Amino acid sequence: MRLNLRFIIALVVAAVSLLGYFFNTSKNDVTGETQHISMSPGEEIALGVQAAPEMAAQYGGLSQDPRASAAVEQIGQQIVRTNGLDTKTPYKFQFHLLADDQTINAFALPGGQVFITQGILKNLKTEGELAGVLAHEIGHVVGRHSAQQVAKANLTQGLAGAAGIAAYDPQNPGRSMASAAVAAAVAKVIGLKFGRDDEMQADKLAVDFTPKAGYDPNAMIKVMQMLQAEGGRSSQPEFMSTHPDPGNRITELQKEIAAQFPQGMPTGLKP
């Protein structure tokens, strides 16, 4: 009887998790895709604003270089404005240069808070390369990737919990722990796959965004080459650990650029 009760509870937990995920959908106004998201844009904005000071503190706070900070903000806002993202989305974009000049990283919080470290900025050679990094992070915001990850994490956590309940054996706790570990491992693999998909979409969106802002998307390839070189010289740049590598990203970028511009790149774009 206890065994049946455990399975019933597990099925209820799994059903609630699945229904909560698959019935919470929203159409993305930028990508056009239907996404499984439980957060509203307003909640994303509030979450990003709330988390921004703590995230900045982890990288030594904001940069004290007003000229470089202004350049990051200006180029970021140019990408937003020229692509109509200030009207197509409700997000309030802000671009922050972080004081950390040793860490190579850039990231975006939900709702439009975008960060880039001085460590990566000093390794960028052109405006176009900076635009490529910022456009990639903007892609994460408008792709609503953080909100998607929250929904997926809730789903996998619920399913892992259901598996743990169903697998628990009071007569053999060790076996139960092993089953829970397998369930957690499955959840991690699912999360990694989604992370790679997000990176691919952010790259594709950046290829679309940068030319409209006046920048050559091929500069993104140079950024990837720099990151590879930095990884070869020492430890892996933090950017590469926080942005899972979906394989040969340089090749994928080249394919995307060729697909979007089959007649060749428009003239007059900044490298």
Cα(89)–Cα(91) distance, rounded to whole angstroms? Answer: 5
Residue 38 lies in a domain: yes
Per-residue pLDDT of the chain (271 residues; tens, 9 = 90+): 445 665 565 555 555 555 555 667 899 999 999 998 988 999 999 989 999 999 999 999 999 999 999 999 999 999 999 999 999 999 999 999 999 999 999 999 999 999 999 999 999 999 999 999 999 999 999 999 988 887 777 666 655 555 555 555 555 544 444 444 444 444 443 444 447 888 899 999 999 999 999 999 999 999 999 998 887 665 667 777 667 664 578 999 999 999 999 999 999 999 9
Q: Range of 27's domain?
A: 2-260
Residue 188 lies in a domain: yes
Say how many C-beta atoms besides its own lie within 10 A of residue 53's C-beta.
Answer: 10
Residue 238 lies in a domain: yes
Residue 256 lies in a domain: yes
**What pLDDT shows up at residue 151?**
74
**What pLDDT shows up at residue 56?**
96
Cα(98)–Cα(62) distance, rounded to whole angstroms? Answer: 4
Residue 270 lies in a domain: no
Cα(269)–Cα(64) distance, rounded to whole angstroms? Answer: 30
Residue 216 lies in a domain: yes
Residue 243 lies in a domain: yes
Q: What is the DSSP string of 181-228?
A: HHHHHHHHHHHHHHHHHHHHHHHHHHHHHHHHTTB-TTHHHHHHHHHH
Residue 135 lies in a domain: yes
Number of separate domains in the chain: 1
User: What's the whole-model pTM score?
Assistant: 0.82
